[in-house]
Structure 1
Amino acid sequence: MSIQQTNTSFIITTGDSPGAATLERAEELSAATGAPFIPRGRLSVAMLAKRCGASDVLVLIQDGVRLIRPGRPPLEFHPSMGYIRARRVLKGEADPMLTAARLQPGDSVLDCTAGMGADSLVFSVAAGPAGHVTAIESSGPVCALLMEGMKYYRSSVLEVDEAFKRVHVRNANHLDVLRSLPDRSMDIVYFDPMFRDPVVDSSAIGPLRTYANPAPLEAESIEEACRVARKTVLMKEKRQSSEFSRLGFQVEQRGQTKTVYGVIQIDSTT
């Protein structure tokens, strides 16, 4: 089996016995992301990556998708706590993030740090079919994982699955996106930067840290967010984080959780 070196940092492949539907998904994702689809053949994922000169391999299987960097734990798409929170919202329970954001059905949300999409899901469920959620992810491989995962994830709750499908995922730097948007064009702009010192070791978040940008948010990002937002700019951080004061957020400390939300309220009449 002859495989040429690729010009991208990640490739797309399948399990070792893919069905026609999985092969079609792989071709569609390749077209959407620009990452090459390389048939698996009999090669291991590690050997396929080595032969292609790729650092990451996105593996599509019949009931899911996983991102593999040889030598590291795989990153599998799953909404994790986002699914539990979404179900609570559907039952009419309050969610601290939504309360802090002042979100109403029909609102538009820009999630600047999508990660695995848990918060985007909760926003999408609460905003409803009339709302609009855009999730920005700077890592190309993670963005591809998110695109595929959101599109094909199936739970036991139809409203959750539909909310995932409504999220628009973009591979970009959030500051570039913010600079490109008109004034007061989104209701809510949200940031959940990767904590430099993780609160807990999580099987879901741990592998994601391999791909995350550890740099703190730039002041310009917040300035641009305040220009773009109509209602609120929201940031999630550790309870005692100095980032809130550095970036001008008012902290809303509810309960005894280790993480809290900082809010900048926007007067859209100015």
Structure 2
Amino acid sequence: MNFVITTGYHPTAATEQAAREFAQQLNVEFVARNRNSLAAIQKNFHVDVILLFSKQGPLIYTDDGNYFFHLSMADLRIKNLKNGKHDHMINAMQLQPGMSVLDCTLGLATDAIVASFATGPSGKVTGLENSLLLAFIAKAGLSGFIGESPDITAALRQIEVIQADSEKYLCHVPDESYDIVYFDPMFRQPIQSSSNLKPIRLLADKRPVSLALLAEAKRVARKRIVLKEMQGSPEFERLGFTQFVGGKYSSVQYGIMEVQH
């Protein structure tokens, strides 16, 4: 993935220094913004993606839209949990305070945030993201975003982000290290109404869960593996998921695989 790094029109000295240092670290070209539009930079440097360092935080610019860290549906889902309503993912995981979750497909970090809230201060949520840029945005947002309430902010800070290929990473994780191993792979057939996903489809790892990766997940999970897919997806049958949780009219479904050691 070719990209360049730039800043907003009037960056602070700290923002520009951070952008230059990150570009040097990645061996990626830093482009002084001056008066250039992002579209002009994109055209002049023949790239599809620009990583923009701004005073508000990092932003990814693409032809399909911009992506920056935000709570997305995590905010509403956490409010629902506080009001005693159920959450299909939490039900599928059977999450309780103090449990540990390995999210192998962090992406927007929405599910990881909800899981972190449910597991509480004594819990542990680790998010793996293969995309360098998505991992960077997630890590910056989870460490810097301030939620409406202290418990939401605490849930963000408790998530550990690791930029890694999940299959390669799991090979080095000891047996039964996490209560839950979770997968939310990029859907092969995108949900067209989900505009939040449009700018990241270019960046995200689109590979489905492999049987080799599932085998590693079975070894690493203490309790169960949960797979999020579209309702009725053939991926469930291919991978051997036979238990399901999901709303009758929901476009997504959670497959559950109990682990026996």
Superposition TM-score, scaled by structure 1 size: 0.86
Q: CA RMSD in A?
A: 2.4
CA distance in 1, matches of 2:6, 2:105: 26
Q: Is the 8 A contact 1:33 1:144 kept in 2?
A: no
Residue-by-residue CA offset, 1:125-152 (whole Å, 9 max, x unaligned): 1111221111111111111121222222
Q: Is the 8 A contact 1:231 1:266 kept in 2?
A: yes
Match of 1:138 among 107, 114, 130: 130
Cα distance, 1:27 vs structure 2: 6.0
- The residue aligned with 2:215 is 223
Amino acid at match of 1:238: M
CA distance in 2, matches of 1:33, 1:160: 32
CA distance in 1, matches of 2:152, 2:59: 20
Q: Is the 8 A contact 1:87 1:160 kept in 2?
A: no
Cα distance, 1:38 vs structure 2: 4.6
- The residue aligned with 2:148 is 156
Superposition TM-score, scaled by structure 2 size: 0.88
Structure 2: runs of 5+ lacking an equivalent: none
Q: Which moved more, 1:78-87 or 1:247-256?
A: 247-256
- The residue aligned with 2:104 is 112
Question: Is 1:178 the equivalent of 2:177?
Answer: no
Cα distance, 1:255 vs structure 2: 2.9
Identical columns (%)? 36
Match of 2:231 among 234, 239, 257: 239
Cα distance, 1:15 vs structure 2: 0.8
- Three-state SS of the structure 1 residue aligned to 2:187 is coil
Amino acid at match of 1:143: A
Cα distance, 1:249 vs structure 2: 1.2
Total equivalences in the alignment: 260
Cα distance, 1:165 vs structure 2: 1.7
Cα distance, 1:171 vs structure 2: 1.4
CA distance in 1, matches of 2:31, 2:82: 40
Question: Is 1:13 the equivalent of 2:6?
Answer: yes
Cα distance, 1:104 vs structure 2: 1.5
CA distance in 2, matches of 1:28, 1:126: 36
CA distance in 1, matches of 2:122, 2:27: 31
Structure 1: runs of 5+ lacking an equivalent: 1-7
CA distance in 1, matches of 2:88, 2:80: 12
Match of 2:252 among 249, 259, 269: 259
Q: Is the 8 A contact 1:77 1:116 kept in 2?
A: yes
- The residue aligned with 1:82 is 74
Residue-by-residue CA offset, 1:63-95 (whole Å, 9 max, x unaligned): 2432013x3322232221122112222444321
- The residue aligned with 1:123 is 115
